[in-house]
Amino acid sequence: MDLTRQGWLASWARLRDNEPDEEQRIWEMPVFRVLNRISAVKPGAAVIATAGDDPQYKFPALVVQRYGNGRTAALTVGDIWRWGLTEPQMHQDMDKFWRQMLRWLVTDVPNRISLQFVDRPDDENNSVVFQVRVRDKAFQPMDNVSVKIDVRDPHNQSLLLTAEPALSEAGLFEAAYIPRNSGCYLARAVVTDSNSAEVGLTHEIKTSENQDEIAIGYLTGRAQAGLAVNLQAQEFRSINTNRPLLEKIARQTGGRVIELGELDNFVRSLPDRNAPITEMWIRPLWDLHGILPMAFLLVLMSFVGEWALRRWKGLP
């Protein structure tokens, strides 16, 4: 068995910390007699190790490939157990190989419940969006769940958010949050499913004594993530004048952007400018023009109408 170029670059496939010792270890491995031949290697797969007596043609012995959000590995050697029956050191090497490969297979694989945040650099309030992705036991997106996010600010103040389903992706729930202070934030997402039979265990989800109750139902999973906020970073990121922002503020408030060379002329023109002044007037309804005559006519018409109706019906 020999390592390919991809195998030498994969740290989890090596058992020694230098190339000469690794080559010596491979040379001392026992001879394997069973090999499950494969017709071809799929596109995108990487051959980590090869086996065979012919130097001109080697058969794939260990092939790995990404599958969805996870990883897969195919070991075509059928009697790999011979590796651990020769010497105690080789048995330890075989155990280490299995540990490293299995750890690599599950590393960076997303959990059923994942929580992450997305910055909004164009938002004036420096808001962030918490994104919670929920999957079932088969890692299929779940939509019929309730997602609560408990956010703790640098002053240990808690705020409970309710994430709403996103229209762009199944199983994705989003909640917007505006940090008010600079510092470290801790977000914890709790996912509950009140009518799912696959969870199988009713669990009352509560926080510690100082915290509020989050949800009651079938516990699907939890996730947490940290967030560091520096509100002054965007302002002091550049010392250049942010002219587009100034023009936007002036346009929305009815003002204008004054160049430095126009400042003296602008100051001299201030006395002649019409500045809008807003005054609040409070008047009784009866003091408004035309209200009293209209009220008098309404009362008079009601009186005449009642008199005419009584005469028509012959009432006293």
**Tens-of-pLDDT digits for all 316 residues of the chain?**
889 999 999 999 999 989 999 999 999 998 889 999 888 898 889 999 998 877 778 899 999 998 877 899 999 999 999 988 888 899 999 999 999 999 999 887 778 888 988 888 777 677 889 999 988 877 788 888 889 999 999 999 999 999 999 988 888 999 999 888 888 999 999 888 765 433 333 333 343 334 434 444 455 678 888 888 887 776 777 778 888 888 888 888 888 888 888 888 888 888 887 777 778 888 787 777 788 888 888 999 999 999 898 888 888 7
Q: Count other Cβ atoms within 10 Å, centred on residue 194.
A: 13
DSSP string of the chain, one letter each residue: -EE-HHHHH-GGG--SSSHHHHHHHHHTSPPP--B---S-PPTT-EEEEEE-S-TT--EEEEEEEEETTEEEEEE-BTTGGGGGGS-HHHHHHHHHHHHHHHHHHHTTPPPSEEEEEEE-TT-TT--EEEEEEEB-TTS-B--S-EEEEEEE-TT--EEEEE-EE-SSSTTEEEEEE---SSEEEEEEEEEEETT-TTT--EEEEE--TTS-EEEEEEEEEEEEEEEEE-TTTTTTS--S--HHHHHHHHHHHT--PPPGGGHHHHHHTGGGS-----------GGGSTTHHHHHHHHHHHHHHHHHHHHHHHT--
State residue 207's pLDDT score.
39
With beta carbons less than 8 A apart as the criterion, state whether 218 and 199 touch: yes
> Which tokens belong to 13?
């496939």
Q: Are 167 and 201 in contact (CB under 8 A)?
A: no
Contact 77, 35 (CB under 8 A): yes
Structure tokens at 117: 């945040």
Q: What six digits make up the tokens of 235?
A: 């302002």
Are 145 and 192 within 8 A, CB to CB? Answer: yes
Query: What is the C-alpha separation between 7 and 209, in angstroms, rounded?
Result: 52
